[in-house]
Amino acid sequence: MSILKNCLGLSHEYIKKVLGEGDIAIDATCGNGHDTELLCSMVGDSGHVYAFDVQKQAIDATKERVKDFNNVTLILDGHEKMEGYISGDVSAIMFNFGYLPGGNHNKATKKETSISAIDAGLRLLKKGGLMTLCIYSGGDTGFEEKNAILEFLKGIDSKCFSVLSHDFINQKNNPPMLICIEKK
Ligand SMILES: C[S@@+](CC[C@H](N)C(=O)[O-])C[C@H]1O[C@@H](n2cnc3c(N)ncnc32)[C@H](O)[C@@H]1O
């Protein structure tokens, strides 16, 4: 097995370093609920997970996946509105951009709402908290969202946040990249 994990595997490794029992976490793009399930298992009964998606199909799939947990709130709304649901002190926020696997490609994340949601998430993170961003490009996803997000992230104040990029630069077919943002 390779030491270097893929984008999703790497994001999970980082999340495991910051998230524990009693913490608050956000899955900003719950999709089929794989990341939501991981977050629920990590924060335990004394913690809480908020999971967002704009598609009912995704919320229903996530509800089924996390049916054995009682520490999660599923929200059928855009992640750009997360500050309307959560007030702060968040330890970890996961974004997995793009479209729902097996779902409607027209309901993919969009650069404007994605950037607005990242900005909101950075305000909600507590000091020492971590945001992970899995960013897809190429194919029918294109490069517009990725380029816009990277431009936005380059402008983030380095006194307040560390932004680390992970990119498999020799792989073909535009593999997803991982960005991790730590609040100092
Ligand atoms: C790549 S999928 C997420 C996969 C998911 N993490 C999983 O484990 O299955 C991206 C999801 O983002 C959702 N999405 C698109 N725009 C959104 C928005 N403004 N707010 C929240 N979710 C959004 C899509 O409906 C889709 O389900």
Q: What is the pLDDT of residues 27-77, one digit of tens each?
A: 999 999 999 999 999 999 999 999 999 999 999 999 999 999 999 999 999
Checking if the pLDDT of 134 tops 80, the result is: yes
pLDDT at position 141 is 77
Tell me how far the alpha carbon of residue 114 lies from the centroid of ligand 1, in angstroms: 10
Tell me how far the alpha carbon of residue 100 lies from the centroid of ligand 1, in angstroms: 6
pLDDT at position 101 is 87
Q: Residue range 139-165: average pLDDT?
A: 95
Strand order in the sheet with 125-135: 72-76, 48-53, 24-27, 90-96, 125-135, 177-183, 161-166
Total residues belonging to the chain: 184
Q: Nearest C-alpha to atom 15 of ligand 1 is from which residue?
A: 109
pLDDT band of residue 19 (cuts 50, 70, 90) is very high
Pick the CATH number of 7-183 from 1.10.630.10, 3.30.420.40, 3.40.50.150, 1.10.3720.10: 3.40.50.150
The tokens describing 25, both together, are: 């976490």
Average pLDDT, the chain: 96
Q: Residue range 97-111: average pLDDT?
A: 91
DSSP the chain: --SS--HHHHHHHHHHHH--TT-EEEESS-TTSHHHHHHHHHH-TTSEEEEEES-HHHHHHHHHHTTT-SSEEEEES-GGGGGGT--S-EEEEEEE-S--TTS-GGGS--HHHHHHHHHHHHHHEEEEEEEEEEE--BGGGBSHHHHHHHHHHHTS-TTTEEEEEE--TT-SS---EEEEEEE-
CA 70 centroid distance within chain: 21
Tell which atom from ligand 1 comes closest to the C-alpha of 31.
27
Which of 26, 29, 63, 135 is the best mutation target for the ligand 1 pocket, counting ligand atoms within 8 Å of the beta carbon and taking the most?
A: 29
pLDDT band of residue 24 (cuts 50, 70, 90) is very high
Q: Name the phi and psi angles at 78, rounded to 5.
A: -75, 140
CA atoms of 105 and 113, how far apart (whole Å): 16
Checking if the pLDDT of 1 tops 90, the result is: no
Q: Residue range 116-127: average pLDDT?
A: 98
